[in-house]
Chains A and B, each alone.
Chain A
């Protein structure tokens, strides 16, 4: 039986977190941090034993954890990978995450994986396909999932609606949550020439469970979502706009390449916390208010 959309509510905010990466395992476990929660890449912990599994167990004893996958491939035309779903379910049973998320994309076809987040055409055909598969995944896992908007470098001539409408419809029809990646919105807006604020304003307030923030690289003709820089000022501005609309939502800093000292991540997270608290204290979270940078 599919999980009924009206039974799924937005989880309470976990506060401000960062992605747990190998470089920081020792630091996170050896001393207190200024971080409220951690997100881990699900696939990295679908293993039988060894250090990653042990670290995750110990981190989970101290912090809330969210499982964030990259290979669910919810939009692929391949059958859902049942072995993968079984491994994810086992991992979730062990970790007891606050929630489980992945991406609104396809990750491979023909039995092969690109290990990348490939965009979908925003058509009714793709929408029906994705919604049916989200229902199937949620049924298999016994829980609702959240799906993240991806950065993209192509758009399809066939697309019949803007990305935010597609994302919102997936959430409305399937009952899944939305992991709104503010940096991805900015990157895709620049790459395809749409209005990033219109994107945020087009997403239903109650559907958003989490924000992602990250840095990107400017390649001249396009922006590349590299997660190897600090969050840039326009993305901070966009984050303030998002908090104004959605209120205090669990916010996570991603930094995956050229990874700095953990304290640098804490600084980014503290900046997000400060922006969110100013926006929320201003009483303008939903109704709109002055820009905070």
Chain B
């Protein structure tokens, strides 16, 4: 099924103009400058009238294109928005969409590459921790609709044969990720949330237009937050339908990675015994296991 050539050309011009970052008129000038269009191409394509020119009409689509994607990214990256302020966030998204227009049928994935893009962007170079903050937010968005699995309860674990507990293998539910970061993004996330919640409390209804406008005034002058450079591993997970994250220590990192790799509880306890008595290692594993069960992280290991 080959594409009809005139329709293909029409759609190419239409797309090139609505995705142009500075509007349809300047977008056409840029295309003409590159020899990719002629000055009269839009007028030849679109009907104008006494109310609206062909440029005005296509600008309606150009605005909707940008603001729909901007709104989606604001929902996926609320703490990054809080950190940057609306104007800087707007400019970042403008630059991002120019390089990474949406390539998935669902809006859900439009922010997939924002963290990596931010790392190489001027804003990200000025405050390197922001890319890690974005990674944390994207992991949270990913976990929100990750695959379901029934987590094991304490009763499930107790019902397993205890005399061979050391050989027992468990698995992590699909809605759990370990995120290795170079900065303490979880702390920044919490502080930015408190700041946003505090302002929402000051101004009345959370998320109202008033709150957004109040923040928008002069936000270019606001300093970027300082996010401590401190290697941090965050566990991001979903319990029920709520997404959580928290920083975890080396014991938990090693143990969760071992669990995910299919290690038995005995092997994990052995690793925890470095610098500990076997009893203390077993107790440490027991405490970790109890926390994981309470957080709904543990699933039965795949069979076969």
Contacts and interface: CB of A to CB of B under 8 A. Distances in A.
B51 A113 contact: no
A51 B7 contact: no
B57 A115 contact: no
B221 to A, nearest CB: 31
Contacts of B12: 109-110
B145 A48 contact: yes
Interface residues of A, number: 53
A125 B103 CA distance: 26
B54 A125 contact: no
A123 to B, nearest CB: 8
Q: Name the residue among A46, A52, A221 with the largest chain B CB count within 10 angstroms.
A: A221
A54 B149 CA distance: 12
Interface in B14-62: 14-15, 18-19, 44-47, 49, 51-52, 54, 56-58, 60-61
Contacts of A84: 105
A145 to B, nearest CB: 15
Given A50-B146, A75-B7, A114-B102, 8 more contacts: A43-B105, A77-B11, A109-B15, A116-B61, A154-B61, A158-B10, A193-B49, A222-B51
Contact of A106 (B11, B69, B145): B11
Contacts of A136: 1
A10 B263 CA distance: 57
Interface stretch (A126-134, A201-209, A261-269, A284-292): A126-134
B57 A153 contact: yes
A50 B148 contact: yes
A81 B61 CA distance: 23
B145 A224 contact: no
Interface string A128-163: 110011001000000000000000011111100000
Interface in B57-76: 57-58, 60-61, 64-65, 68-69, 72
B164 interface: no
B105 A71 contact: yes
Interface of B: 1, 3-4, 6-8, 10-12, 14-15, 18-19, 44-47, 49, 51-52, 54, 56-58, 60-61, 64-65, 68-69, 72, 101-108, 110, 144-149, 174-175, 238, 241
A274 interface: no
A250 interface: no
Contacts of B104: 113
A53 B144 CA distance: 11
A120 B8 CA distance: 11
A77 B105 contact: no
A49 B102 contact: no
16 contacts: A43-B106, A43-B107, A47-B145, A71-B105, A77-B4, A77-B11, A109-B11, A112-B15, A114-B61, A115-B69, A118-B11, A120-B7, A126-B4, A129-B4, A136-B1, A154-B54
Interface string A42-77: 011011111111100000000000000001010111
B4 A108 contact: no
Contact of B238 (A50, A109, A112): A50
Contacts of B64: 116
A125 B241 contact: no
Contacts of A48: 145-148, 174
Contact of B45 (A47, A71, A133, A157): A157
Contacts, number: 142
B45 A156 contact: yes
A81 B104 CA distance: 10
A153 B61 contact: yes
Nearest to B105: A71
B63 to A, nearest CB: 10
Nearest to B173: A49
A111 to B, nearest CB: 6
A121 B10 contact: yes
Contacts of B15: 108-110, 112, 114
A77 B3 contact: yes
B144 A50 contact: yes
Contacts of A234: none
Given A43-B105, A46-B106, A129 B147 contact: no
A260 interface: no
Interface in A72-90: 73, 75-79, 81, 84
B76 to A, nearest CB: 14
Interface string A29-52: 000000000000001101111111
A113 B145 contact: no
A75 B10 CA distance: 12
A112 B102 contact: yes
B148 A49 contact: yes
Contacts of A129: 3-4, 7
Contacts of A114: 15, 18-19, 61, 65, 102
B19 A116 contact: no
Q: Please indicate which of the listed interface residues A49, A84, A120 has the most CB atoms of chain B within 10 Å of its own CB.
A: A49
